[in-house]
Amino acid sequence: MLAKRVTVLRGGLSSEREVSLASGENIIEALNTAGYEVTDLIANDNLNEIVNSLTKNRPDVVFNALHGNFGEDGAIQGVLEWLNIPYTHGNICSSAIAMNKKITRILLHEAGLPIAKGKSVPITLLDSGDPFPVPYVVKPIQEGSSVGVHIIQSNDASIRQKQREKIIKEWIFGQEALIEQFIPGKELTVCVLDDKALTVTDISSGTNIFYDYNAKYQAGQSTHTVPAVIHPQAFQTALDYAQKAHKILGCDSVSRTDFRYDNHNETQDQPGDLYILEVNTQPGMTKTSLLPEQAAFCGITYPELCSHLVEKAKCRT
> Is 91 among the annotated ligand-binding positions?
no
Task: Tell me what pLDDT residue 143 has.
Answer: 76
Distance CA 42, CA 49 (A): 10
**pLDDT per residue over 165-198, tens digit each?**
999 999 999 999 999 999 999 999 999 999 999 9
Residues in the chain with pLDDT < 50?
1, 211-217
Give me the domains of the chain, ranges plus CATH numbers: 5-89+304-311 (3.40.50.20), 98-114+184-281 (3.30.470.20), 118-181 (3.30.1490.20)
Task: Tell me what pLDDT residue 77 has.
Answer: 96
> Which stretches of 154-301 are DSSP H helices?
157-170, 213-217, 232-248, 290-297
> Is 252 among the annotated ligand-binding positions?
no
- What is the value of pTM for the model shown? 0.91
Name the nearest CA neighbour of 183 among 162, 203, 207, 209: 209
> Is 293 among the annotated ligand-binding positions?
no
Task: Tell me what pLDDT residue 48 has.
Answer: 95
> Do residues 198 and 204 lie in contact, with contact meaning Cβ atoms separated by under 8 Å?
no
DSSP state of 271: -
Asked if 146 is an active-site residue, the reply is: no
Asked if 23 is an active-site residue, the reply is: no
Residue 127 identity: D
Radius of gyration in angstroms for the set of CA atoms belonging to the chain, rounded to a whole number: 20
Asked if 289 is an active-site residue, the reply is: yes
